[in-house]
Structure 1
Amino acid sequence: MSQIRQVDDLNIESQQVLITPRALKEKLPLSDAARDAVVGGRQVIRDILDRKDPRLFVVIGPCSIHDPKAALEYASRLKALAEEVDDALFLVLRVYFEKPRTTVGWKGLINDPHMNDSFKVEEGLHIARRLLLDVAELGLPAATEALDPTTPQYLQDLIAWSAIGARTTESQTHREMSSGLSSPVGFKNGTDGSLDVAVNAMLSVQYPHRFLGIDPDGRVALTTTRGNPYAHVVLRGGGGKPNYDSVSVALAEGALHKAGVSTNIMVDCSHANSNKDPSLQPLVMENIGNQILEGNTSIVGLMVESHLNEGNQKIPENLDDLQYGVSVTDGCIGWQTTEDAVRALANKVRDVLPRRDR
């Protein structure tokens, strides 16, 4: 008798069944206050994208979340600042739990909450959802990057705005997923600076799609979407060059108009737009404010990487050596710089925003 030869799962070491989205939501349900924050946050962003609300929305916060305690302290401070500048800016907390990697490295709080390659994903999902609930109960809307196609089933009900990163904007999987997201979604231009991938994503995401996903009970399901009408572009620079300057913005406006997609533009103040130097982000914010003063009508939002303390740190072997409130991924501006830059932008655009041609 011939020997039976294995042909599948040759490189699969193990598989673990995780909690279902429905079960996680039952364990950590939305309170009325959290639901109000999510619904209200989404509606404000939609109104800004529809030009019914003249304010800018600013997605601001740590590059990634690794310490829920520090994140919640940041959220409390941001809530107070949001109330102060509410007449000009709508502040949304950046809460990124997943990090794409060019090769290898820490993949974020959901995948590896203990930052030791133990990959306690179910625990990471609990921690992430608990933090989002705490943030929403402060009355603060939250934004995240939609990276893993299954994660939105666990967390999207707590998200007011979603980003698709430069590495995944070209991915058909992420375009299909985005067509079903409940929140508005921003597509970043390619890592080489090309706008084409974002334009194609915006053309795709507005239509219904059918793809394999998971349902609330964790079963593989054919998922049919309605299409997402609130997609827009996020300029983040690329190819070693920024693209937030007035010439680049005008070129983007022309390309978006020619393609027949939304001409709403969001500017990511980090990445290539700040030459990967976080201290330059306030200068980008200042430039955007100046463009609005000079008549720009397409820029509706900004992204800023900010934390309690400036800079970043490598993940130490002994996690007790971590510096509190300092990013473990991209460098961030510190809180005092954040307050100063946000107030300066609000003061600069406060009077002109209501008079912008829309």
Structure 2
Amino acid sequence: MNSSVSALPLSTLNPANEALTLRLPSALQLKQQLPLSNALNQQVIAHRQAVRAILDGHDPRLLVIVGPCSIHDPKSALEYAAKLAQLSSEVRDDMLLVMRAYVEKPRTTVGWKGLAYDPHLNGSDDMAAGLTLSRELMLEIIRLGLPIATELLQPMAAGYFDDLLSWVAIGARTTESQIHREMASGLGMPVGFKNGTDGGVAIAVDAMRSAAHPHRHFGVDSQGHPAIIQTPGNPDTHLVLRGGHQGPNYDRESVSRINAELNRLKIPSRIMVDCSHANSGKDPLRQPGVFNDVLEQRLQGDRSLIGMMLESHLFEGCQPLSESLRYGVSVTDACLGFEATGQLLLEAAHRLRKQASA
């Protein structure tokens, strides 16, 4: 992979607040430089349709969004993707595995914002190189046959790789944002809205209802010009439970209560459980317990539970950014190692297969 697209020369200096503006290549320019082939485009379309079929109940498989909390090293990410592609072939009859390719990282205060922002991991914030590297990496993952997912945090960045994605998350901190709801209403793939950090689902439910409707909003077109964007509305949204300040919300009582609210509002009951974050107390070794609890609810007949999300990397744990990083270990949230991930998913596929043949 290379990073030949670079920022254009300094275009604006605002003496009032000393803000600097560097012009980026347009989304169209980057897509032309790193195009999606016709064959891969058809693959992405097929993967999106497969996710929709699961959401609509036409495909009985379990949807699993799995991969690093965030990608900081393309080499280890591609090694992970190769392992996941092999695992996917082993469980494909029972699960649809979608790899997390998260290149933006929301921050509560400050910190590393992700590969698209700071690909050199040194605070230089070479976003032109970051966008290029992110698109290159996503294309490589798709070439392995995997569908990919990401969290869209900055709407202006979304256009640089929206054609590559099969599933999108809107995070707990941005689900309430009108801008993100408008963006989701125009996306061509399924979108999962996470519940708020307080653990309540009302904000996410409102987001789903908003995103289902057409919108006209301010935006940027593919050539980088300010534009009025008209969206058709996105019918393929669903709820992602990630727990909250009061603790987990994946238990049977919580899921039953949430389903009742969705039914009252005449919103399709399709729920994904994020096995990390507050649902696991941010302890990666507790993710399998959450996963198996939700799987048992599904095996006992709760078909509203359409999928799970796992934070997983080559090796478990996390590490702070430094000059000597351990290979294949997250630099953001702690992850489950791939060996444990593979064992968890193979066992789950066996249980699903056993029930289907009973």
TM tier, shorter chain?
A: over 0.9
Match of 1:227 among 227, 230, 233: 233
Task: Report the alpha carbon displacement of residue 259 of structure 1 after superposing the two structures with TM.
Answer: 1.6
Task: Structure 2: give runs of 5+ residues left out of the alignment.
Answer: 1-13
> Does the 8 Å contact 1:285/1:345 carry over to 2?
no
Bigger shift: residues 156-165 or 249-258: 249-258
Match of 1:333 among 332, 336, 342: 336
d(CA) in 1 for partners of 2:264 and 2:316? 40
**1:10-51 deviation per Cα after TM superposition (whole angstroms, max 9, x unaligned):** 335210110011110110001234223311110100111111
**1:285-305 deviation per Cα after TM superposition (whole angstroms, max 9, x unaligned):** 111111112111100011000
Q: Letter of the 1:29 partner, please give it.
A: P
SS in 2 for 1:151: helix
**1:252-275 deviation per Cα after TM superposition (whole angstroms, max 9, x unaligned):** 101111122121000000001101
Asked if 1:196 is matched to 2:199, the reply is no
List 4+ stretches of structure 1 deviating above 3 A.
351-355
d(CA) in 1 for partners of 2:168 and 2:304? 19
Match of 2:264 among 250, 258, 266: 258
Task: Report the alpha carbon displacement of residue 55 of structure 1 after superposing the two structures with TM.
Answer: 0.4
Name whichever structure is richer in strand by fraction: 2
Partner of 2:8: none
Q: Letter of the 1:102 partner, please give it.
A: T
Asked if 1:155 is matched to 2:161, the reply is yes
The within-5 A match list for 1:105-144 is 105-144=111-150
TM-score using structure 2 length: 0.94
Partner of 2:96: 90
Q: Letter of the 2:335 partner, please give it.
A: C
**1:191-223 deviation per Cα after TM superposition (whole angstroms, max 9, x unaligned):** 000110001001100000111111110101010
Q: Letter of the 1:98 partner, please give it.
A: E
The within-5 A match list for 1:242-321 is 242-316=248-322, 318=323, 321=324
Task: Report the alpha carbon displacement of residue 350 of structure 1 after superposing the two structures with TM.
Answer: 2.2
| Change in 2 beyond 3 A, CA 1:163/1:49 | same
Partner of 2:193: 187
> Does the 8 Å contact 1:292/1:349 carry over to 2?
no
**1:56-103 deviation per Cα after TM superposition (whole angstroms, max 9, x unaligned):** 110000000000110011000000000100111000000100011111
> Does the 8 Å contact 1:231/1:262 carry over to 2?
no
Match of 2:327 among 324, 349, 352: 324
> Does the 8 Å contact 1:100/1:107 carry over to 2?
yes
Q: Letter of the 2:308 partner, please give it.
A: L
> Does the 8 Å contact 1:244/1:273 carry over to 2?
yes
d(CA) in 1 for partners of 2:19 and 2:297? 54
Match of 1:174 among 167, 180, 183: 180
d(CA) in 2 for partners of 1:30 and 1:211? 27
Task: Report the alpha carbon displacement of residue 351 of structure 1 after superposing the two structures with TM.
Answer: 3.8
d(CA) in 2 for partners of 1:204 and 1:36? 29
SS in 2 for 1:350: helix
Partner of 1:59: 65
- RMSD, aligned α-carbons: 1.3
Task: Report the alpha carbon displacement of residue 353 of structure 1 after superposing the two structures with TM.
Answer: 5.5
Match of 1:216 among 203, 219, 222: 222
> Does the 8 Å contact 1:159/1:183 carry over to 2?
yes
Bigger shift: residues 259-268 or 139-148: 259-268
| Change in 2 beyond 3 A, CA 1:353/1:21 | farther
Match of 1:73 among 71, 79, 84: 79
How many residue pairs get aligned? The number is: 345
Bigger shift: residues 10-19 or 234-243: 10-19
Partner of 1:3: none
SS in 1 for 2:159: helix
d(CA) in 2 for partners of 1:11 and 1:50? 50
Task: Report the alpha carbon displacement of residue 182 of structure 1 after superposing the two structures with TM.
Answer: 1.2
Partner of 1:5: none
Bigger shift: residues 288-297 or 268-277: 288-297
Partner of 1:343: 346
SS in 2 for 1:330: coil
Partner of 2:4: none
| Change in 2 beyond 3 A, CA 1:310/1:252 | same
| Change in 2 beyond 3 A, CA 1:237/1:353 | farther
Q: Letter of the 1:344 partner, please give it.
A: E
Q: Percent of pairs identical after alignment?
A: 51
Bigger shift: residues 25-34 or 248-257: 25-34
SS in 2 for 1:52: coil
Asked if 1:16 is matched to 2:22, the reply is yes
| Change in 2 beyond 3 A, CA 1:216/1:281 | same
